[in-house]
Structure 1
Amino acid sequence: MTRPDYDALEAELRELLGPRGVSSDLRQREKASVDGARMSPIIAELLPLGVADLVAFPATAEEIGAVVGLAVRHGVPITPRGKGTGNYGQAIPMQGGLVLDTSRARTIVEVGEGFITADAGAPMNALEQAARQAGQELWMYPSTVHTTVGGFLAGGSGGTGTIAHGANHMGFVVALDVVTPASAPALLHLEGEEANGFVHNYGTAGIIARATVRLEPLQDWRGLYASFPDFAGSLSVLRELGRLQPAPRLVSADTVHITAQLPPDPAFPEGRSSLRMIADPAILAMATAVIEGAGGRIEDVREGPQASAALSVLSYNHPIEWLQKSEPGVYFHVEVSGDALVDRIDEVHAVYPGGLLHIEAGHTAPIGMLAGVYESPEAVYEGIERLGELGVGVHNPHQWNVDFRLEETVELARTTDPDGLLNPGKLNPEYAGPTKGAIR
């Protein structure tokens, strides 16, 4: 196969984006060719999986479309990228080519009643701030608050707000403007189910250039910190707290050992299990009664939007990241769900050596991240099978293939990307990973 003329593409990109809008510098290309996949020792053993030949930095949704158009004309593979906070290798350019970094396309276009529209690179915390100024807030908020809206939607991510709405973004996405090799440089405006076809597929069927997501009325949240002598105490109240009305935005808890690895805070007393809530003031008295009735104690209640943000970044997989930082090279994790995380916790912990669970109250059942001491890929996959036998739903984060609506995405990409230029290596229809159940 003839190698594309990258020099010609670079020259055209410079004319389109200016001298700082494209780079062929090796350090810049290497930086743009990794994401958070080092959380997975299985993927980390394979890194680097590919290095970009060029990196482009479009500053608007329209420039995203134009960049895709130029790359397609030269037959260059395109790997879209937000902030690179994904943990599955979605943003790694496995066949080189062009990394399309959308993080400079961060214009917030419109805040309306019940919606906000922004270019793909707009950070989620900027969307939340803009929404708050209009008396609203995001319907779903990410655990990584500075991630981009395009990356959040295209990646394999979840977010807080799941107790009320669930975690799969269905209902969160109002409309998307996407660009595909078949449409480039034009943007396609899609709504409803058509837009949902481009969610969670890593840009393999089309690249999100602009997104409209749902807002809801602003609530005056509080950040509640509690603790128990042991993890069993936290587990005993987690589901009851999650069912309080109005629904909390987050209820999460950690084992004593994970709590000890979190950033130092007086609300994390030594030798105790931490339980945290983003809660409406109307339920604070009820939550306090539940917690204290089960032998726990309230450590602090904090006000203001920063209190909510601080608890969001201690949710989802972030506690496991702190655990991994404290003991490098020791732990891996899998995403888990189901009532067995509470009802059969000793058996769940025993599946992996050194098993430790971070848990959250979910929309229909608890969700969490189960960490264990890493031994081998085979041991990880065998453990996933055992978790399934315990009634635990598992999402395997140790692979980079699209695994959300895979068949639908493959069919869609046959039309939108007939030459397979979008994020090649991430859409394998033959993939059948070691997954029982699903987080989403």
Structure 2
Amino acid sequence: MPHADLDQATIDALAIELRELLGADAVSDEPQALDRASIDGSHLSPVIAEQLPLGRAQLVCYPATAEDIAATVGAAVRHGVPITPRGKGTANYGQTLPMAGGLVVDTSRARKILEVGDGWLRAEAGATMIAIEQAAIRSGQQVLQYPSTAQSTVGGFVSGGSGGTGSIAHGMIHTGFVTALDVVHAVPDATLIHVEGEATEPYLHRYGTVGVIATVTVRLEPLQEWRAFFASFDDFHDLLSVIRAFPELEPTPRLVSGDLPTLAEALPADPAIFPGRASLRAILDADSVAAATALVEAAGGRVDDVREGAQACIKLSMTSYNHPIEWLQKAYPNTYFHVEVWGDAIIDRIDELHEVYDGGMLHIEAQQGRPIGMLAGVYHGADEVYAGLPKIEALGVGWHNPHQWYVDYEPAATIAFAAETDPQGLMNPGKLVAPGTFQTGSQM
């Protein structure tokens, strides 16, 4: 690791300064607080779970404003203490684990919606995506996208996420979702640095290794009338036969997810998800429900329910992307793992893809251009997980290995940028490694 846990005198000195800056109740070294600040979604990966613990905070603080975040980072740098930024801790697979000990900066109290304008919203990093969506709705607008865990913070989403509900129309977070940031570099006199447009991109999906995000400005669009749409099929192949047509509906759907019966049955109980049937769930504009119904029925499926309201749609979002795997693991503890996959071959060669791993099951998400998915399998050890990756690639399927905690999006550029913004190497240590150190994914 880049840093060993610091001696207690250094931590105590930083704690004194932070209590003066933030208030006594905003800094803690209580064991329970340190434990809470030292876990994330790593347990979802059996590969990583076997290596836990990967680090434990020595101090945690809760700045309440963007300015407090900057003051906190400056203090930590002056004491030479590693800094791990954190939102709600919903990040998958070690992104927020304090691998070098030191200070965890929990940004969840800095949660103000600062301003809502025509086509944009600015919020502090700790504001939740559901709060941002609700603020946008009150102004007659909506966010372009939000993660499947809608209670995630906006800072955590843009620091660790890639896309989510809304990505069919708008792509990933690097394609215009973020218009401006206030960020904090790891320097002794840290202040808020404002960046806009393309200058925001080096900070996105970098896990806070090049700076702590303090405020985020996101694009908004006119509010649509959404429906939560539930359909089912006797056979998963029938579901797959229509999944590529759904992104072509007009207006474009916000989300389209599909699962085999075993995956669907592991989801939270819902009267519109039927045992023994493949489940298709979508968030559709009200004007496209009739066309979606025709697609489903032409493929031999049936529409089981159509629900109105933002609450129904957000609840449906919680059954998308990684969440079906999480629910599967809850239903069958210590059994399953997953690999992220994409490309037309996940549909065209689905039977071969399922054969790669024991108990193989695909959760699929419709996207413009190429579907994506989560391939679940029974876990028999890390070696078998990795042995399956070239088999997946041989099928013409793109893949990404989620069982790691390092920045694998433009890692060389990130390392070079971090040398400028974090000269002491204090920002989220352990998350930057040279390209090629681990298996990350194919470029299909």
TM category, shorter: over 0.9
* Alignment partner of 1:52 out of 57, 62, 66: 57
**Contact between 1:384 and 1:435, CA under 8 Å: does it hold in 2?**
no
- The corresponding residue for 1:206 is 211
Identify unmatched segments of 5+ residues in structure 1. none
1:85 is matched with which residue?
Answer: 90
1:282-431 matches, cutoff 5 A: 282-431=287-436
Within 1, Cα distance between the matches of 2:122 and 2:349? 43
Change (3 A) 1:431 1:16: farther
Shift of 1:184: 4.1
Kept after mapping to 2: 8 A contact 1:401/1:431: no
Q: Which residue of 1 aligns with 2:249?
A: 244
Task: Return the offset for 1:368.
Answer: 1.0
Aligned to 1:33: 38
- Aligned position for 1:258: 263
Distance 1:389 1:183 in 2: 50
Helix, strand or coil at the partner of 1:160: coil
Structure 2 CA distance for aligned equivalents of residues 337 and 433 of structure 1: 20
Counterpart contact for 1:165–1:363, Cα < 8 Å: no
* Consecutive unaligned residues in structure 2, runs of 5 or more: none
Any idea what the Cα deviations from partners look like across 1:63-85, whole Å, max 9, x if unmatched?
00000010000000000000000
CA contact (8 A) 1:183 1:416 kept: no
1:405-428 deviations in Å (ceiling 9; x for gaps): 111111110110011000000011
Q: Give the one of 73, 82, 96 matched to 2:78.
A: 73
CA shift, 1:433, in A, is 2.5
Q: SS of the residue aligned with 2:245? A: helix
Give SS of 1:333's match: strand
Pair 1:133 & 2:125 matched: no
- State whether residues 402 and 428 of structure 1, in contact with CA within 8 Å, keep that contact through their aligned partners in structure 2: yes
In 1, Cα distance between equivalents of 2:442 and 2:228: 32
Answer whether contact 2:55 2:97 (CA < 8 A) is retained. Answer: yes
Match in the other structure for 1:146: 151
User: Aligned pairs, how many?
Assistant: 439
User: What letter is aligned with 1:289?
Assistant: A
Shift of 1:27: 1.3
2:192 pairs with 1:187 = yes
Q: Deviations over 1:119-158 (max 9, x none)?
A: 0000000000000000100011210000000000001443
1:168 shift after superposition: 3.9
Alpha-carbon separation, structure 2, partners of 1:109 and 1:380 = 45
In structure 2, the residue corresponding to 1:358 is in which secondary structure? strand
Shift of 1:58: 0.3
The CA RMSD measured in Å over matched residues stands at: 1.3
Distance (Å, rounded) in 2 between the aligned partners of 1:319 and 1:179: 35
Tell me which amino acid in the other structure corresponds to 2:37: A
TM-score by length of 1: 0.98
- Deviation string 1:329-378 (CA, Å, 9 cap, x unpaired) is 00001111111111110011111100011101013210111110011111
Of 428, 440, 443 in structure 2, the residue corresponding to residue 435 of structure 1 is: 440
Q: Counterpart of 1:142 in 2: which secondary structure?
A: coil
Q: How many angstroms apart in 2 are the aligned matches of 1:98 and 1:9?
A: 9
Identity of aligned residues (%): 58
Distance 1:367 1:76 in 2: 40
